[in-house]
Structure 1
Amino acid sequence: MTGRQIAVTGLGMVTPAGSCVDETWRRVCEGGTTEAAPHPGLVGMPVDFCASVGEFDTSAVGRRNLYRLDRFVQFMLAAAHEAVTDAGLSAAEWDGPRVGVVIGCGMGGVTTWEKQLRRLVEQGPQGVSPLMIPMVTPSSVAGEVALALGVKGPSMVVSTACASGATAIVVARDLLASGQCDIVITGGTEAANTPLTVSAFANLGTLSQRCGDPARASRPFDADRDGFVMAEGAAVLVLERAEHAAARGRRPRALLAGCGSASEAHHPTAPHPEGVGASQALKAALRNADLAAHDIDHVNAHGTSTVLNDHVEARVISRMLPHGPLVTSTKGVLGHMLGAAGAVEAALTVLAMGQSTVPPTANLQEPAPGIDLNLVSKTASRQPVRAALSNSFGFGGHNVVLAFRTT
């Protein structure tokens, strides 16, 4: 890329597959079935299952803060703590004004919204918590991370639907490349497994209806797919200017080599049939990273398990990368984490490079007709990954592609 090199020096995750990076990576590489099950809060809903985060380490949240922070913020604080530790950084030692926070989130505190609305209806205005506004506002997650870690540089939340986590990484890269920051804590978070949100997506026709078999409901690129599985979670990447990492003797996990973003201006929810925006973003990412198409060894696809997205994305990948890099969708295991998905999948792409392992696409039995990709299925593929792409697309025509390469 032009300008400064950007290093990925730390990762953190909280997902339905595990409460940390190692647990999530192990489960994704096993690639058996979807981490989905019936949810007690969805009883009676048109879709009654989702992929939920189980127990996770809340020590970074703090016992006194658990009652005042929505779940989407709690996930992010846990992931940020793991990522900063993984990067070998300490809030007590860094230069706070040179550190930034950029988080992607599509929905905000919808769990709190729904809970407080019920209280309003049942108890009247006096039943509504005075803490509701800071609990539900998407921007609160960046503020809480900054507060917890002593970050005094730029702090913000970006929202581009299901591309939010990837867009946050793009913005973080720009803060580093411009010289405004030495370190940026970036990623995405979402906790929207609620009756209102699930009902809306179900009525839109985007969710899988496999209520009797949720473990096999998320089937990216499969001929028998019928929609995505709602999920929740968070991921954080610690990005640094490469010279800053080198000065403290830190070897990067990978380099964020380039980014590409594009809008389709086509439809509020449907992708362009020819994937115009996705193609433009992919081309821009390659150009920004100074990579040729044939340099790409692996693509972590957006791969939602919806009929439209998978066909369009497959067409774009096969057209733009005709040499046939290894393609996977980790949503087969994790479900679709909406605004967190792009960050989770970027982190998994970095791990694939570091581990020379591409995880399989869970539940992929037979690719749908017309999908001509070098799909990894059944078992992980172990081979060197020198350069890789992570695709993220969102409602409203948001398209983001991140390019990573080895150091």
Structure 2
Amino acid sequence: MRGPVVVTGTGLVTPAGIGTEATWAGVCAGRPTARPDPGLDGLPVAFSARVPELGPEQLTVRQPWRYDRSTLLLFAAAQEALADAGLSSTEWDGTRVALVVGSAAGGVATLEAQHGRLLADGPGSVSPLTMTGFLPNMTTGHLALRLGITGPSLHTSTACASGASAVITAALLLATGQCDLALAAGTDAMVTPLCAAAFAKMGALSRRHDDPARASRPFDRDRDGFVLAEGAGVLVLEHAAHARARQARPLATLAGYAATGDAHHATAPDPEGTALRRAVTTALTMAGAGPADVDHINAHGTSTPLNDRAEAAAIRRLYPHHRPTVTSAKGSLGHTMGAAGAVEAVLTLLSVGRQLAPPTANFVAPDQDTDGLDIVAGAARPQRIDLALSHSLGFGGHNTVLAFTR
């Protein structure tokens, strides 16, 4: 290790708004963003949580039609993160900058659209930009081109933990001296007919058609599935000494991290949360801390019966003698899929920096599976937060934990 890794810039584009402050305000207000979605009309579930329209301040790229929506969301979040960190891509040494982007599905909207053209009008109608729009790594490739990043350029795909996996990978690149700066990100735009139909067929989506705004209910006794959403999050990581040398303001320290696998089921988490607990204890050990030092948990909290039950079981077993506050941003934002790990990492470090635990929107009361947790509900809760964890889980049994300190 070459010293502590700090976060010096963040950028968010979520259903709660464009920008970190807009997202933080929406989540702290407990404001749900799910609503009927005309783009999903006729499907078993026809509501979602979409990012507001990007304005000219965010769509600064020429010919935006060349890119998948997931890439455009990433561009907007990265632009904010660099400005927040006081960085300019025209001034840095691109060979010493790393970029790691996580996504669950890459440019799936591009793939669906072009497949529709193929079926309707034949192969001659397919765009020559299909592969550069669809291939999952191209979110990374397009941003590296845009910013002149010629250091390590990688893509992570661990389903809904992808953004958090990107943070870990970026931190490892810093730890091994392969870069001086690293951008870690997650982005996904999976609010598409195919994805919505497939998740609905699995029984993963909420069917609360009469009240979409209250459909995402993490840890609540009446939860019945997640709300499909989109978004992007970017974190600027660097060694503390490097940040000091350029007089950058650290927002938080990435004190520990870990990843484990369940090897239990293709989609269902281990109900005992065994591997998740191991990821937590490993991340805490790296941070020089233990369970008693955890003040706050930004949970994965999908609002599905199985995820929330397993995560609650893991939390109860990890903290038998005290109860850290627990929140899930998915009550407000829905499930942003591969972006969630990065988006929620930003929210977690903001909780540390601002000493405030956001509420879990739509949480009313637990059931026997989720009882025993100190769920923040109703309003944001001021508290002392010296160490906070961000949990990210994904299909395939992925568990990723990030530990942030002041």
TM-score range, shorter chain: over 0.9
Separation in 2, partners of 1:3, 1:149 = 25
Question: Which of 238, 245, 268 is matched with 2:266 structurally?
Answer: 268
| Cα distance change on mapping 1:363 and 1:61 into 2, 3 Å | same
Separation in 2, partners of 1:93, 1:347 = 25
Residue 373 of structure 1: CA displacement?
0.5
- In the alignment, what sits opposite 1:9? 8
Separation in 2, partners of 1:30, 1:179 = 40
- In the alignment, what sits opposite 1:378? 378
- In the alignment, what sits opposite 2:210? 212
- In the alignment, what sits opposite 1:160? 158
- Give the secondary structure class of the aligned counterpart of 2:217: coil
Separation in 1, partners of 2:227, 2:376 = 20
> Are 1:58 and 1:74, in contact at CA under 8 Å, matched by a contact in 2?
no
| Matched residues, number | 404
Separation in 2, partners of 1:321, 1:239 = 30
Separation in 2, partners of 1:297, 1:64 = 45
Separation in 2, partners of 1:81, 1:120 = 35
Residue 388 of structure 2 is aligned to residue 388 of structure 1:
yes
Residue 250 of structure 1: CA displacement?
1.3
Deviation per residue, 1:258-315 (Å, 9 max, x gap): 1011011111000111111111111111111111111111000000000011011011
- In the alignment, what sits opposite 2:50? 52
Deviation per residue, 1:30-76 (Å, 9 max, x gap): 003x2011111110100000000111245454353311000000000
Superposition pairs of residues 356-375 of structure 1, within 5 angstroms: 356-371=355-370, 372-375=372-375
Separation in 2, partners of 1:3, 1:288 = 14
Separation in 1, partners of 2:319, 2:161 = 21
Residue 19 of structure 2 is aligned to residue 20 of structure 1:
yes
> Are 1:14 and 1:56, in contact at CA under 8 Å, matched by a contact in 2?
no
> Are 1:172 and 1:184, in contact at CA under 8 Å, matched by a contact in 2?
yes
Paired letter, 2:11: G
- Give the secondary structure class of the aligned counterpart of 2:66: coil
Separation in 1, partners of 2:155, 2:209 = 34
Paired letter, 1:86: D
Residue 188 of structure 1: CA displacement?
0.1
Question: Which of 193, 197, 201 is matched with 2:199 structurally?
Answer: 201
Q: Which moved further from structure 2: 386-395 or 91-100? A: 91-100
- In the alignment, what sits opposite 2:30? 31
> Are 2:271 and 2:313, in contact at CA under 8 Å, matched by a contact in 1?
no
Which structure 1 residue ranges, 5 or more long, are not aligned? none
Separation in 1, partners of 2:158, 2:147 = 25
> Are 2:136 and 2:155, in contact at CA under 8 Å, matched by a contact in 1?
yes
> Are 1:19 and 1:57, in contact at CA under 8 Å, matched by a contact in 2?
no
| Cα distance change on mapping 1:171 and 1:63 into 2, 3 Å | closer
Separation in 1, partners of 2:265, 2:56 = 40
- Give the secondary structure class of the aligned counterpart of 1:134: helix
Paired letter, 2:73: F
Deviation per residue, 1:199-219 (Å, 9 max, x gap): 100110110001111000000
Superposition pairs of residues 312-331 of structure 1, within 5 angstroms: 312-322=310-320, 323-331=322-330
Paired letter, 2:161: A
- Give the secondary structure class of the aligned counterpart of 2:75: helix
Separation in 1, partners of 2:266, 2:369 = 25
Deviation per residue, 1:81-107 (Å, 9 max, x gap): 100100011112211100010000000
> Are 1:271 and 1:312, in contact at CA under 8 Å, matched by a contact in 2?
yes
Question: Which of 124, 127, 130 is matched with 1:129 structurally?
Answer: 127
Residue 370 of structure 1: CA displacement?
3.4
Q: TM-score, normalised by structure 1?
A: 0.98
- In the alignment, what sits opposite 1:249? 247
- Give the secondary structure class of the aligned counterpart of 2:404: strand
Deviation per residue, 1:180-233 (Å, 9 max, x gap): 111001110000101110010011011000111100000000000000000000
Q: TM-score, normalised by structure 2?
A: 0.98
Separation in 2, partners of 1:385, 1:53 = 29
- In the alignment, what sits opposite 1:349? 348
| CA RMSD, Structure 1 to Structure 2 (Å) | 1.1
Separation in 2, partners of 1:109, 1:246 = 37
Separation in 1, partners of 2:332, 2:122 = 42
Paired letter, 2:149: V
Separation in 1, partners of 2:334, 2:376 = 17
Residue 368 of structure 1: CA displacement?
1.6
Superposition pairs of residues 162-311 of structure 1, within 5 angstroms: 162-311=160-309
Separation in 2, partners of 1:344, 1:29 = 14
Which structure 2 residue ranges, 5 or more long, are not aligned? none
- In the alignment, what sits opposite 1:147? 145
Separation in 2, partners of 1:324, 1:38 = 37
Deviation per residue, 1:121-150 (Å, 9 max, x gap): 111111000110000011111111111111
- Give the secondary structure class of the aligned counterpart of 1:67: helix
- In the alignment, what sits opposite 1:74? 72
Separation in 2, partners of 1:202, 1:4 = 46
> Are 1:13 and 1:236, in contact at CA under 8 Å, matched by a contact in 2?
yes
